[in-house]
Structure 1
Amino acid sequence: MARLEMLPEEAMSPAQKDAVAEVVAGIRGRVPAPMIAWLRNVELANRGQRLGELLRFKTTLEPRISELAILLCARHWTSHHEWTAHKREGLKAGMDHEVIAAIAARRAPVLRDEREQVVYDIATVLLPKGRIPQALYDRGIAVLGEQGMVELVAILGFYCMVSLTLNAFELGIPGSIVPEFEDPEFPAP
């Protein structure tokens, strides 16, 4: 059960109502789950949803590559709701089922090209260590370009915030429990 629920419309301030109206009228057409928490600070809700829209829909990285990065972040944080939503989006974007299954199982997937491989390599080093060795950075620039590298790092950073928000407030739970994520130290809520 979520620790925070969507504010009922009658309990929202005019600014909160405007934030909800903006996101519903946008590309998503609905309130994204982390915004349920972010609405407690309406400026965070406005800025967070706009940044998410930019990073998800308006980068130079093709959707398959963005979704790979998002799934790697979701798995890193064992974010059930993030995984459930972006597994579906990843499949729509052309990701292979086997790649998604390998990431869920924390195994190295067999990837189709150098773009996928460099995203995987960067994410699996940057997320746990917070840094990228020079050789991997140089490879990322060669494959993705400077703008693509900046966008990849921004996607990973943003989806860390999303994953932590979803986890802390148990948003999307229990409906998004991922059985293959079972962790005895932190059993699913």
Structure 2
Amino acid sequence: MARIILDEQAMTDEQRAACAEAISGRRGKIPSPMIAWLRNPELARRGQQLGEVLRFQTSLEPDLVELAILVTARHWTAHQVWTSHKRYALQYGIDEWLIETIASGMAPICSKPRHQIVYDVSKALLEQRRLSDALYGRAIAELGEPGLVELVAIIGYYCLVAMTANAFELGLPDNKAAELGDPKFMGVADP
């Protein structure tokens, strides 16, 4: 059950304005992390604006954006993010086997070079926190410098989204993704 909810009756004018702005944008709705971010309306406004740019206004094709989001959601075991973006990934033509492979934690061998580079860059940044010279060179050759900058921003932004969803249990239990396992702490001890 979500730890934080959107109480429309108790919202301030600033919170209402941030919600109206999100609803009037490309998404047409309030993105789930914004439910938590509304505790600081300026964070909510700017966070959802950044998300809108990264989802809809980069040089990367929509399937590449969704692939990076799925790799990030899997890394964080973010059920709500995974469930939402799995639907978009399928819509943009990402193969079911690729999605299942990522969900299982296995490293896929992608048939499309741009998918492979997005997967490899995402995994390297999430797990090793940097790119080797060789991977950096491959990424620049495949995506270009603007594309790589945008990809890094997408991964970073969706780390924030995933941590927000996990911390406040947004979308649970409704968006539990069975293929990701138990959303509760994933074996992490409570300090």
Please give the TM-score of this superposition, normalised by the length of structure 2. Answer: 0.94
Q: Does 1:87 align with 2:79?
A: no
Cα offset for 1:82? 0.2
Separation of aligned partners in 2, 1:181 and 1:113: 24
Amino acid at match of 1:98: W
Identity %: 54
1:4 equivalenced with 2:4 (yes/no): yes
The answer to which of 46-55 and 179-188 deviates more is 179-188
Once the two structures are superposed, what CA deviation does each residue of 1:68-121 show, in whole Å capped at 9, x if it has no partner? 000000000000000000000000011000000000001122312111111111
Q: After superposition, where does 1:1-189 map in structure 2 within 5 Å?
A: 1-8=1-8, 10-183=9-182, 186=185
Distance (Å, rounded) in 1 between the aligned partners of 2:68 and 2:183: 26
2: CA distance between counterparts of 1:26 and 1:184? 30
Measure, in 1, the Cα distance between the counterparts of 2:27 and 2:17: 15
Q: How many residues align?
A: 187
**Which runs of 5 or more structure 1 residues have no equivalent in the other structure?**
none
For 1:16 and 1:77, how far apart are their aligned partners in 2? 28
SS of alignment partner, residue 155 of structure 1: helix
SS at 2:150's partner residue?
helix
- Superposed displacement of residue 130, structure 1: 1.1
Per-residue CA distance 1:108-153 (angstroms, 9 max, x = gap):
2231211111111111111012111111011100100000000000
RMSD: 1.5
Query: For residues 61 and 120 of structure 1, do their structure 2 counterparts lie closer, same or farther at Cα, with a shift above 3 Å needed?
Result: same
AA at the equivalent of 1:163: A
Assess if the C-alpha contact under 8 Å between 1:102 and 1:108 holds in 2.
Answer: yes
CA contact (8 A) 2:77 2:183 kept: no
Query: Contact (CA 8 Å) 1:69, 1:156: kept in 2 or not?
Result: yes
Partner secondary structure for residue 77 of structure 2: coil
How many angstroms does 1:7 deviate by?
2.5
Q: Give the CA deviation at 1:184.
A: 9.2
Amino acid at match of 1:151: E
- Residues 7 and 36 of structure 1 are in contact (CA less than 8 Å); yes or no, is this contact kept in structure 2? no
Equivalent AA in structure 2 for residue 126 of structure 1: L
